[in-house]
Structure 1
Amino acid sequence: MAKNISFLTLSFLSLIFTFDTFGQEAKATFIDARELTLVGKIYHKGPFYHRLDTAAIPDLPKAVKVLATHAAGLAITFQTSSSKISAKWCTSSGVPTDNMTGLAFEGMDLYIKRNDRWQYAGVARPKSHNCNEAEIVANMAPGNKTCLLFLPTYDETISLQIGVDAGATISPATHPFKKNIVVYGSSIVQGASASRPGLSYPARLSRETGLNFINLGFSGNAKMETEVANLVSDLSMDALILDCVPNPSPEEVLARTTNFVTTIRKKHPKIPIIAIQSIAREKGNFDTQVASRVSLKNNYFETEIKKLQKHDQNLYLIYADGLLGDDQEGTTDGIHPNDLGFDRMLHKVRPMILKIFRSYEI
Structure 2
Amino acid sequence: MKTISIYEAPVVISGLLSKYQKGHLWKAPEEIFGKVSEWVDIMRVRSTGGRVRFRTDTKKLWIRTTLKACTPDVNFPIVGSAACDVLRGRGMEADYVGFVVPPEFGKVVGEREISLPGTMEDIAIYMPRNEEVEDIEIAIDDDAEILPPTPYTFEDPILYYGSSVTEGCTATHPSCNFVAYTARWVDANFVNFGFSGSAMGEPSMAEIIAKQKLSAFVMDYDHNAETADHLRKTHENFFKIIRAAQPDLPIIMLTKANDYWHEYELLERRDIIRQTYENAVAAGDQNVYFVDNSDVFGAVGRFACTIDMLHPNDIGYRLMSERLYPVLKEALETRYGKKITI
Match of 2:28 among 52, 60, 64: 52
| Alignment pair present for 1:186 and 2:166 | no
Q: Would you identify which runs of 4 or more consecutive aligned residues in structure 1 move more than 6 Å?
A: none
The CA deviation string for residues 114-160 of structure 1, in whole angstroms up to 9 with x for no partner, is 8993111111132144431321522x333333211111111101111
Amino acid at match of 1:211: A
- State the secondary structure of the residue aligned to 2:25: coil
Q: Tell me the residue number matched to 2:268.
A: 296
1:171 shift after superposition: 4.3
Q: Which deviates further from its counterpart, 107-116 or 74-83? A: 107-116
Q: 2:124 aligns with which of 145, 148, 171?
A: 148
Q: Among 278, 293, 307, which residue is 1:320 paired with?
A: 293
Whether contact under 8 Å (1:242, 1:274) holds in the other structure is yes
Could you tell me whether the CA contact under 8 Å between 1:37 and 1:174 is conserved in 2? Answer: no
Q: Pick the aligned partner of 2:82 from 97, 106, 119.
A: 106
Q: CA deviation at 1:292?
A: 0.8
Q: Distance in 2 between matches of 1:330 and 1:229?
A: 30
Query: Is the CA contact (8 Å cut-off) linking 1:181 and 1:211 kept in structure 2?
Result: yes
Is 1:73 the counterpart of 2:40? The answer is: no
Q: Does 1:242 align with 2:216?
A: no
After TM superposition, give the deviation of residue 206 of structure 1 in Å.
2.4
Match of 1:38 among 13, 35, 42: 13
TM-score, normalising length: structure 1: 0.83
Once the two structures are superposed, what CA deviation does each residue of 1:83-125 show, in whole Å capped at 9, x if it has no partner?
A: 2222212112241311122112111111112899311111113
- 1:25 corresponding residue in structure 2: none
1:258–1:308 contact (8 Å) kept in structure 2:
no
- How do 1:126-137 residues align onto structure 2 when only pairs under 5 Å count? 126-128=102-104, 129-137=106-114
Q: What letter is aligned with 2:196?
A: S
Indicate the structure whose relative CO is greater, using CA pairs within 8 Å and at least 6 residues apart. 2
Residue in 1 that maps onto 2:181: 204
User: Deviation at 1:177?
Assistant: 4.7
Greater CA drift, 252-261 or 349-358: 349-358
Residues 157-197 of structure 1 deviation map (CA, whole Å, 9 limit, x = unaligned): 11110132344333442443523221111111111121101
Q: Percent identity?
A: 20
- The reply to whether residue 160 of structure 1 matches residue 133 of structure 2 is no
Q: Which moved more, 1:88-97 or 1:124-133?
A: 124-133
TM-score when scaled to structure 2?
0.87
Residue 72 of structure 1 and its aligned partner are, at CA, apart by: 1.3
Q: Report the structure number with the largest CA radius of gyration.
A: 1
RMSD: 2.3
Alpha-carbon shift at residue 308 of structure 1 (Å): 3.7
Q: Once structures 1 and 2 are overlaid, which stretch shifts more, 165-174 or 327-336?
A: 165-174
Alignment partner, residue 309 of structure 1: 281
Deviation at 1:338, TM superposition (A): 0.8
Unmatched 5+ stretches in structure 1 = 1-27, 285-289
Q: 1:243 to 1:29 in 2, by over 3 A?
A: same
Separation in 2 of the partners of 1:291 and 1:158?
Answer: 40
Relative to total residues, which structure has the larger helix share, 1 or 2?
1
